[in-house]
Structure 1
């Protein structure tokens, strides 16, 4: 799917900005329910943080996030949980430009954006080297089963998202993380 035109994008931006604060507050409440939290939350980009494949876009287009994504990112950061990106995009320059345009690139302690046939295991090796966070202290959000299965074998807690990252996915991810940490 290709991002909408400029007029449509401005409307989406306004709606999202109004909701970001509400989502952040609700996400902070969800995070507050758990004593054992991940040290690092890692996000795929395409169909996880934004609802399109960036390789189908041009660098000069105006990107947008799923409605609850920005508020969740801010809540994680406010709670002391670092965030990172692991994307197999064949167009890392477009993905990086979109993160810049969205004003969120600086939020991520690691950005591993490159095409790979390893189902993101290489991405996580690099994230681990960069952050020194153990795999079992990471929580990963992605829209593809194959990526979830591959990195789960490395000890990561992962959550499959259907319609982008949202409060339900955050709740489920933190619950899964807590249950596995407690056992």
Structure 2
């Protein structure tokens, strides 16, 4: 019942309320980004959604315009050369992820689910296809994010995604959300070069 019907309503209401409450913060971040570097404050990146559908995921821009695209930042030779000053802070606090609330409103994403992979992450996509987690709407946070986050290797991330896909309940989603807030506040498991 929750997975099939209520989860989507929960996502929509949560995202709508969060966007209203956080709108002053969105404006402040927009101004800081625009005043520190050229280019748009928000950028779109192709990601893999539920059942392999490609969608455009929104993020606050944390990198210079000449940064490589569609590549995880941790694979850059010198990621610090591309990350802007406000971008470093936003990545450390996960503020760059806030525009994904719009993706949640649109139905591209959920509050909780596997983090959406880049279109060229064939290894992760294959593992998710094999364990059934590709059938789940990708999330702003997920089981992998509260169990190691950026520090996890691909196979472990996919394993957590599969476990989540098999056991989706409201209480488990609520627990993941609460744990995510704690992890973000303590900066646990965040690497300089997160995706």
TM-score (norm 1): 0.30
Answer 1 or 2: which has greater helix percent.
2
TM-score (norm 2): 0.28
